[in-house]
Amino acid sequence: MEDARRRVPRTDAVLGDPALAPALARLGRPRVKAAVTAAQAACREGRLAPDEVVAAVLADLPAAPVSMRRVLNATGVVVHTNLGRAPLSAAAVEALALAAGATDVELDLETGLRGRRGAAALAALAAAVPDAGGVHVVNNGAAALALVTCALAAGREVVVSRGELVEIGDGFRIPELMESLGARLREVGTTNRVRREDYERAVGDRTAFVLKVHPSNFRVEGFTSAVPVEGLQGLGVPVVADIGSGLLAPHPRLPDEPDAATTLRAGADLVTASGDKLLGGPQAGLLLGEAGLVQRLRRHPFARALRVDKLTLAALEATLTGPVPPVAAALATRPEELLERARRLAAAIGAPAEAVVSQGHVGGGGAPGVPLPSAAVALPHRLAAPLRHGSPAIVGHVHDGRLLLDLLALPPDDDHTVAHGVRRLLAHDAEGGR
Ligand SMILES: *Cc1c(COP(=O)(O)O)cnc(C)c1O
């Protein structure tokens, strides 16, 4: 006992071990020191050999800086809400790291005076949508609508089609948000049909604006009619269009998905959208439109409560000015390329993996019901859970009794990680079976 106590490694010696350097940098000295003290106690009591102390400290410390796990998105859903919507581009990730320290987000380094917050990100957004007289960025799409409602429609009426009273997900309903901020919704038309005359009859002294909401997660088919933004001109009140997805310009593969430029040109006074759907950037709410209206929103007291942080501004600027973000890259990939990748991946995994054609989707971000031709690697469905439990987690989807690892939303650089993860599981299976 006496002997073991003398052999307990000293705190400084353990803390100086190179193996603990990354943990010290990441977690700080007090946290690591607490783990060292615990391991020394175990050593003193004979539960741990002196040369096991460093390993015990490492085992006691969290392996990653956060408990959020990295996920390889093999679901075939490009903008997956449960996986954090749009993955950021490498440029945006670098921008995040750079902005994490002190930055000139609100300082003009030229003059040394206070500068306009996030001026570069706003300029990039304005440059991307020249039809917008003014632009502003808030926390998310819901915040953009909330600011418009607060600034323009508190105690007044918003005219909206019954077919556009949308619930986005997780119980978030656009009409309830607007009513909670003191606007009264004046519903026009029916679930499936609305005409310009319906809007004309409803607009009056109390109308703050007419709202168009893009049904971004459902489709009404059959006997339907809606009034496009063009058809809502000349009613004497502003037209606000919530386009949802954040497409700034038309996308050739998504012809029915509204975009900011076209919507503004059609006569919308304000457009609201999310930053982390088809735009492929960070969570943000974009407001674009008539300069005077945007200025009113920006100056409204509530705007401060919806303000975005420097990290969002940095990532948004990099998304807008940098190389094509992953969401756009996924949408630009041809199905033949995906099938070729699936064949290579299936070959790298070996039996029973098989390349198959599949069908992907944009997801919660827009283009409901539009199938995106894709390709996948098919595997026995019993692998779904163990792959999901791995690190990184690999999340596919089960179709016709098989697990499909769809390549549409998976960056090609991650193929070898998937191959490795699946091979290891299969090898483990084979050993267990013997
Ligand atoms: C996604 C969406 C919203 C909500 O945007 P968040 O960024 O999730 O707050 C609002 N309107 C439409 C049409 C949407 O598609």
> pLDDT per residue over 169-227, tens digit each?
888 899 999 999 999 999 999 999 999 999 999 999 999 999 999 988 888 888 899 99
Residue 292, C-beta contacts closer than 8 angstroms, at least 6 positions apart: 133, 134
Spacing of C-alpha 156 from chain mean position = 33
Question: Among 168, 229, 287, which is best to mutate for testing ligand 1, by the most ligand atoms less than 8 A from CB?
Answer: 168
pLDDT at 365 over 80: no
8 A C-beta contact, residue 66 and residue 84 = no
Residue 71 makes CB contacts below 8 A (sequence gap 6+) with 83, 392, 393, 394, 395
Determine whether the shortest distance from the Cβ of 140 to ligand 1 is under 6 A: yes
Q: What is the pLDDT of residues 15-71, one digit of tens each?
A: 999 999 989 988 899 999 999 999 999 999 999 999 999 999 998 998 777 888 999
Give tens-digit pLDDT for 157-180.
999 999 999 888 888 899 999 999
Tell me the whole-structure pTM to 2 decimals. 0.89
What CATH number was assigned to the domain covering residues 71-81+328-433? 3.90.1150.110
Residues in the chain: 434
CB neighbour list of residue 419: distance below 8 Å, 6 or more residues apart? 345, 348, 349
The C-alpha atoms of residue 431 and residue 425 are separated, in whole angstroms, by 10
| Ligand 1 site-directed mutation target among 147, 242, 263, most atoms within 8 Å of CB | 242
Q: Which residues of 167-203 are buried (b: 16+ CB within 10 A; e: fewer)?
A: ebeeeeebbebbeebebebbbbbeeebbeeebbeebb
Q: How far is the CA of 405 from the centre of ligand 1 (A)?
A: 28
DSSP string, 101-135: SS--TTEETTTTEE--TTHHHHHHHHHH-TT-SEE
The one-character DSSP state at 217 is T
Distance 314 CA to ligand 1 centre (A): 21
- Contact, 262 vs 232, CB < 8 A? no
Alpha helices by DSSP H, 140-236:
141-153, 174-180, 196-202
Q: How far apart (Å, rounded) are the C-alpha atoms in residues 100 and 114?
A: 19
Q: Give the position, in ligand 1's atom list, of the atom nearest the Cα of 366.
A: 15
pLDDT tens, residue by residue, 323-343: 999 999 999 999 999 999 999
Q: Ligand 1 within 6 A of 178 CB?
A: no
The Cβ of residue 28 has, within 10 Å, a number of other Cβ atoms equal to: 10
Q: Give the contacts of 58 (CB within 8 A, at least 6 positions apart).
A: 19, 20, 23
Tracing tokens 């102390």 back to the chain, one arrives at 53
User: Is 312's C-beta closer than 6 angstroms to any atom of ligand 1?
Assistant: no
> Could you tell me the residue ranges of all domains in the chain?
4-60, 71-81+328-433, 90-322
- For residue 46, the one-letter residue type is G
Residue 4 pLDDT > 70, yes or no? no
Task: Specify whether domain 90-322 bears CATH 3.40.50.720.
Answer: no
